[in-house]
């Protein structure tokens, strides 16, 4: 029961983090425009928030809370190496991609690719492309050091404070 509550909290925190990364780019006029993405993860915005999508994935992925900490490490790497990839139009697929990779890398037992695709509301072939693209963006580096794991845990634990500190563009 405690793992389930912790997992849901981590899922919501990861969703908020991704949403914040996207909000910064969506509001930043200096961010390069991204049309049809070469990363093949551009799409219409689904009718579910990133936070709700993260909670949905936590519910159906059957992964441990550590999976969300590892996924946070991957998101942080992507933010530092490809900051402009985070947009509202691809947030759900980025989240799905990093969470699938995190589950496969950190869990002892994993679900089928079809299961993960159904949880994300897409076809298996599309998930394969998202996963391959996400791995390439991560430079196929899935190992998360102890230091990186601890930092990611701190990020998730303090995401509400951190997201309040991110300046947003105000419309007057």
* 101 contacts 131 by C-beta, under 8 angstroms: yes
Give Cβ neighbours of residue 131 (< 8 Å, ≥ 6 apart): 97, 100, 101
Alpha helix ranges (H) inside the chain: 2-27, 50-61, 65-81, 91-106, 113-120, 124-137, 146-157, 159-165
DSSP 8-state symbol, 83: G
Confidence check: pLDDT of 93 > 70? yes
Please tell me the distance from the alpha carbon of residue 95 to that of residue 89, in angstroms, as a whole number. 12
Confidence check: pLDDT of 102 > 90? yes
Q: What is the mean pLDDT of residues 116-130?
A: 91
Q: How confident is the model at residue 132 (pLDDT cuts 50, 70, 90)?
A: very high
Q: Read off the pLDDT of residues 27-85 as tens digits, 9 standing for 90 and up.
A: 765 555 554 454 445 556 677 888 888 888 888 888 888 888 999 899 889 888 887 78
* 70 contacts 150 by C-beta, under 8 angstroms: no
Q: Which helix (H) or strand (E) holds 171?
A: none
Q: Has this prediction a pTM greater than 0.85?
A: no
Coil, helix or strand for 81?
helix
Q: Read off the pLDDT of residues 144-154 as tens digits, 9 standing for 90 and up.
A: 999 998 888 88
DSSP 8-state symbol, 142: -
Residue of 81, 62, 61 whose CA lies nearest to 73: 81
Please tell me the distance from the alpha carbon of residue 22 to that of residue 40, in angstroms, as a whole number. 17
């Amino acid at each position: 029961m405690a793992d389930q509550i912790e997992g849901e909290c981590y899922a919501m925190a990861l969703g908020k983090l991704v949403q914040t990364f996207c909000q910064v780019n969506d509001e930043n006029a200096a961010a390069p425009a991204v049309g049809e993405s070469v990363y093949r993860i551009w799409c219409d915005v689904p009718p579910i928030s990133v936070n709700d999508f993260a909670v949905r994935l936590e519910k159906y992925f059957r992964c441990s809370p550590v999976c969300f900490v590892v996924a946070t490490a991957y998101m942080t790497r992507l933010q530092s190496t490809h900051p402009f990839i985070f947009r509202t139009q691809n947030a759900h697929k980025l989240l799905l991609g990093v969470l699938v990779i995190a589950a496969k890398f950190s869990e002892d037992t994993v679900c089928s690719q079809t299961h993960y695709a159904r949880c994300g509301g897409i076809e298996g072939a599309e998930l394969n492309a998202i996963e391959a693209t996400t791995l390439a963006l991560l430079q196929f580096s899935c190992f998360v050091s102890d230091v990186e794991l601890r930092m990611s845990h701190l990020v998730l634990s303090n995401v509400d404070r951190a997201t309040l500190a991110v300046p947003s563009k105000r419309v007057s």
